[in-house]
């Protein structure tokens, strides 16, 4: 009897090992696929960064040709954006749950009323 139960245990371990191997193979394939996707994304991002740099150089050349100080325009835009962000942060006080009061009021107005 001891030999029969040992054979069953060995068979169960073999089946478990096969399942684990199949899962490991699947995970390995998924990781390889993700690595390829990351590499492709990195290549696209690099290409977009290069295009953006070329466009910036072109825009600065056109601005210079038109007598516009591109660096000053960019600095002014950054200042305006920072001021707008600061004003927005001051204008929307957060509630206890981390949402702004505007988000809370719009969420409550969108939810159906209990008496409807």
Q: How do residues 35-51 score in pLDDT, each as one tens digit?
A: 999 999 999 999 999 99
Task: Specify the pLDDT at position 90.
Answer: 84
Task: Specify the pLDDT at position 87.
Answer: 86
- CB burial of residue 108 (10 Å; 0-12, 13-18, 19+): exposed
Q: Are 56 and 62 in contact (CB under 8 A)?
A: no
| pTM (predicted TM-score) | 0.52
Alpha carbon distance 63, 57 (integer Å): 10
Angle between helices 70-91 and 2-65 (to 10 degrees): 130
Q: Are 102 and 92 in contact (CB under 8 A)?
A: yes
Task: Specify the pLDDT at position 22.
Answer: 97
Task: Specify the pLDDT at position 99.
Answer: 57
Tokens 């981390």 correspond to what residue? 98
Task: Specify the pLDDT at position 96.
Answer: 57
State yes or no: pLDDT of 19 exceeds 50: yes
Tokens of 64: 């210079």
Q: How do residues 65-108 score in pLDDT, each as one tens digit?
A: 999 998 899 899 999 999 999 888 887 765 655 555 555 555 44
Residue ranges per structural domain of the chain: 46-89
Q: What is the DSSP letter of 72?
A: H
Q: How do residues 21-40 score in pLDDT, each as one tens digit?
A: 999 999 999 999 999 999 99
């Amino acid at each position: 009897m001891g030999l029969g139960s040992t054979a069953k245990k060995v068979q169960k371990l073999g089946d478990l090992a096969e399942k684990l191997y199949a899962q490991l193979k699947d995970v390995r394939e998924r990781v390889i696929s993700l690595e390829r996707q990351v590499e492709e994304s990195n290549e696209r991002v690099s290409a977009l960064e290069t295009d953006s740099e070329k466009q910036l150089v072109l825009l600065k050349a056109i601005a210079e040709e038109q007598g516009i100080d591109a660096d000053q325009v960019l600095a002014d835009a950054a200042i305006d954006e920072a001021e707008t962000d600061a004003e927005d942060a001051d204008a929307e006080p957060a509630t206890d749950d981390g949402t702004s009061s505007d988000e809370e009021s719009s969420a409550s107005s969108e939810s159906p009323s209990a008496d409807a």
